[in-house]
Structure 1
Amino acid sequence: MEDTGDTGAIALRLTDSAQLFNTLDPFPFRERDLAPDAEQYILDWAQDLPNNQPIRIIVHLQSADPDRHRDADLQQAIKGWFRSREAGEAREMKTLFRDGRIALSVGFVMLSLFMFLSWAVAQNYDNPFARVISESLVIIGWVVLWRPAEMFLYDWTPILRRKRLFRRLAEARVTVHHAGRPGEWPADAA
Structure 2
Amino acid sequence: MSNPLFKKINIFLKVSEETIDSYFNANDPAPIYKRQLSQEFEEYIMNHAPSIKRYSTVTYKLNCVNESDREFIDPLVHAIRRHFSLKKSIKEAEFKKFKRRNWFLLVFSLLVVMFFQGVMPYLLNMEHRIHSAFSNAIDVFSWVILWKPIEKLIFYWNPFLKEISIFDKLINAPIIIVGEKKEKMAVEYAA
Q: TM-score, normalised on structure 2?
A: 0.75
Matches within 5 A, 1:3-22: 7-13=8-14, 15-22=18-25
In structure 1, the partner of 2:100 is 98
d(CA) in 2 for partners of 1:97, 1:50: 24
Bigger shift: residues 79-88 or 165-174:
79-88
CA RMSD of aligned residues (A): 2.9
CA shift, 1:60, in A, is: 4.0
- Which structure has greater strand proportion? 2
Matched, 1:55 2:88: no
Match for 2:24: what amino acid?
F
Partner of 2:90: 88
Residues 112-171 of structure 1, C-alpha deviation per residue, up to 9 Å, x if partnerless?
1222365247644532x5533321222212222223212321221110010011001100
| Structure 1 residue 86: Cα displacement | 1.7
For the structure 1 residues 133 and 18, does the alpha-carbon distance in structure 2 shift closer, same or farther, using more than 3 Å as the test? farther
Q: What corresponds to 1:140 in structure 2? A: 141
Classify 1:137/1:118 alpha carbon distance in 2 versus 1 (closer, same or farther; 3 Å): farther
In the alignment, the residues of structure 2 paired with residue 51 and residue 170 of structure 1 have an alpha-carbon distance, to the nearest angstrom, of 15
Distance, in Å, in 2 between the alignment partners of 1:150 and 1:18 is 46
Larger RCO (CA under 8 A, 6+ residues apart): 1
Counterpart residue type for residue 39 of structure 2? P
1:74 aligns with 2:70: no
Q: Equivalent residue of 2:36, what SS?
A: coil
Equivalent-residue separation in structure 1 for 2:32 and 2:147 (angstroms): 45
Amino acid at match of 2:109: G
Work out which of the residue numbers 183, 187, 190 in structure 2 matches 1:187: 183
Give me the identity figure in percent: 21
User: AA paired with 1:101?
Assistant: W
- Rate the CA distance shift 1:10–1:113 in 2: closer, same or farther, 3 A: same
Q: Give the letter for the 2:13 counterpart.
A: L
Q: Secondary structure at the match of 2:184?
A: helix
Matched, 1:151 2:152: yes
Cα contact 1:117–1:137 (8 A) shared by 2: no
Distance 2:28 2:152 in 1: 35
Does 2:39 correspond to 1:36? yes
Does the aligned pair in 2 maintain the 1:8–1:49 contact within 8 Å?
yes
For structure 2, which runs of at least 5 residues remain unmatched after alignment? 1-6, 186-191
- Residue ranges of structure 1 left out of the alignment (5+ in a row): 1-5, 179-183
Aligned to 2:188: none
